[in-house]
Structure 1
């Protein structure tokens, strides 16, 4: 019995020691913040402020002349300021009162202290708003870069250039023929620069660039998409209800839009990826009736077989297969064989 009592006493001493060691680094340490400011626990915010100002005037380092007194006043002034910072904030004061009432819950008190101490002071709504704004800006800037890259490629491609030049000449945007160029007083560089600008303008106006490289609009921005999210959600629900009514309940035949939707779904392509396909490719899909699951499965298998046949004829692929058969990335070699 005596041994058990001694063991419990040791545990209590250890717990108290751990508790005090934790409290030493929190809030006002082993001192009481209320006692430092000379107020009670039920003091109002005004009373706490008055107590702080009174003590701050008394212990301000400038109020003392000797070096020793200044050091003592500086330390005391720091304690008073720290106590005031804790008690003037309602959340920190609530956590501190909880620690006074539950000193044994040192892990919870430790967490509450550092959560308040290092938690961001900015309103989370502002952080979210700024983040969405930055993402929207980067998204819009990237979309314009993609669009300009597609225009640059089209302007360099011969078939697009010739077609754009024919359109420009037919509409009188540029002067065609060598005789007209000889009459032009401008330098060759100026004429070429104007032609390039006209070709780019014609390609931009006449050629529809779709998919991920299409011309960006404000509706592609994240902020606008978030604002219109309820409308898009309602639109999707209406579309889905219409689909079930027309094609599941009434058993109507699919239109071209619905057929392309099913084909894109079977191919597991995003809308932008599917829109980037050439028109003749989509027409080929419709001609082969790939919106039907069986037809799509056969078409996909044939495509995979064709791809395998092409790979089998490729010298690089044959070399890769020999490399993998001989051990792949894990093989060991001693110089060239």
Structure 2
């Protein structure tokens, strides 16, 4: 029994050893030149230069071109020559191929390198990033202009703003008198009036927030280019703040007080600027840059809002609806 087991082990070892040469071959079907050596296909060596490889390819391509070479394997021969040249002319693919010849047992890594070259985009990543940023910047810029134009059209359609704009346009000479209007069609007069109204509104309206007039410096490309300058300004501003108000303990100026109010409100600069002037003046007069006073002010506002909502009939109806038919309630109303 022991003798049979020993013989079985010996037989298995012989099978494994006999299979090793085929397992460790450097040529893998479906990769590069398949079972052939790319260098042998072009009759060059691993030490051959790129120029020598190109010269060998041109010579073989002329010789084995299907129009000249009439053998049965003409197409296969020509295709093998073209494939070998495509691999060896590219420095990165040639490097991967040489690595496969030197390390034939690392199959998975060779498969990965081969298909990574095939699947990876040929375009430079930097170009892709640049184009992406450009597209985002264009969409950003035109969407801002669209919102701004919508705001101008809305103001021009409001009677109170429209009447004021027409009066200012007449005073500034943007609208012609009745005598000078002769000879013009109604469409021309209408267009002239609309252009004058728009000009007046654009020059006098204070549009802030998301509908404000777009600036070229707000575009993503410009922001990225100027980011080092913004970073320096940010650092210098904070160093100045630390020096003046923490180390030297100087009193806050009006700008600093408004900044602290904005920070307490937790809004951006554009959002703070969009707050009505009288509301900002009220917060300033109540010294809301002081944290304790702001906390007290917020409690007061929250309480006022709670009372206002409690007295609102719409809010009471909404609460009743949420209580009776809101989420988590199961009803069987036929309607």
Sort the Cα spacing of 1:39 and 1:187 in 2 relative to 1 into closer, same or farther, 3 A.
closer
Question: Contact 1:48–1:84 (CA<8 Å) still a contact in 2?
Answer: yes
Cα distance in 2 for partners of 1:255, 1:335 equals 63
SS, match of residue 34 in structure 2: coil
Sort the Cα spacing of 1:254 and 1:135 in 2 relative to 1 into closer, same or farther, 3 A.
same
Q: Report deviation, 1:91.
A: 0.4
Cα distance in 2 for partners of 1:194, 1:115 equals 62
For the aligned residue pairs, the C-alpha RMSD in angstroms reads 3.1
Question: Contact 1:22–1:110 (CA<8 Å) still a contact in 2?
Answer: no
Sort the Cα spacing of 1:28 and 1:318 in 2 relative to 1 into closer, same or farther, 3 A.
farther
Question: Contact 1:22–1:106 (CA<8 Å) still a contact in 2?
Answer: no
- Residues 40-59 of structure 1 mapped to structure 2, 5 A cutoff: 40-59=45-64
After superposition, the C-alpha distances for 1:122-181 in whole angstroms (9 at most, x for unaligned) are 222222222222222222212211221121112122332233233223334336xxxx65
- Residues 1-337 of structure 1 mapped to structure 2, 5 A cutoff: 2=6, 23-65=28-70, 69-70=71-72, 72-174=73-175, 181=178, 184-185=181-182, 186=184, 189-314=187-312, 317-322=315-320, 324-325=322-323, 328-329=326-327, 331-336=329-334
Cα distance in 1 for partners of 2:19, 2:281 equals 81
Sort the Cα spacing of 1:144 and 1:22 in 2 relative to 1 into closer, same or farther, 3 A.
farther
Sort the Cα spacing of 1:248 and 1:187 in 2 relative to 1 into closer, same or farther, 3 A.
same
Structure 2: gaps spanning 5 or more residues: none
Cα distance in 2 for partners of 1:325, 1:29 equals 73
Question: Contact 2:25–2:105 (CA<8 Å) still a contact in 1?
Answer: no
Structure 1: gaps spanning 5 or more residues: none
Sort the Cα spacing of 1:197 and 1:17 in 2 relative to 1 into closer, same or farther, 3 A.
same
Sort the Cα spacing of 1:322 and 1:44 in 2 relative to 1 into closer, same or farther, 3 A.
same
Sort the Cα spacing of 1:232 and 1:58 in 2 relative to 1 into closer, same or farther, 3 A.
same
SS, match of residue 41 in structure 1: coil
Q: Report deviation, 1:333.
A: 3.8
Sort the Cα spacing of 1:90 and 1:172 in 2 relative to 1 into closer, same or farther, 3 A.
closer
Sort the Cα spacing of 1:192 and 1:62 in 2 relative to 1 into closer, same or farther, 3 A.
closer
SS, match of residue 27 in structure 1: coil
Q: Which moved more, 1:294-303 or 1:8-17?
A: 8-17
Cα distance in 1 for partners of 2:232, 2:117 equals 41
Q: Which moved more, 1:290-299 or 1:89-98?
A: 290-299
TM-score (norm 2): 0.85
| Count of residues in correspondence between the two structures | 329
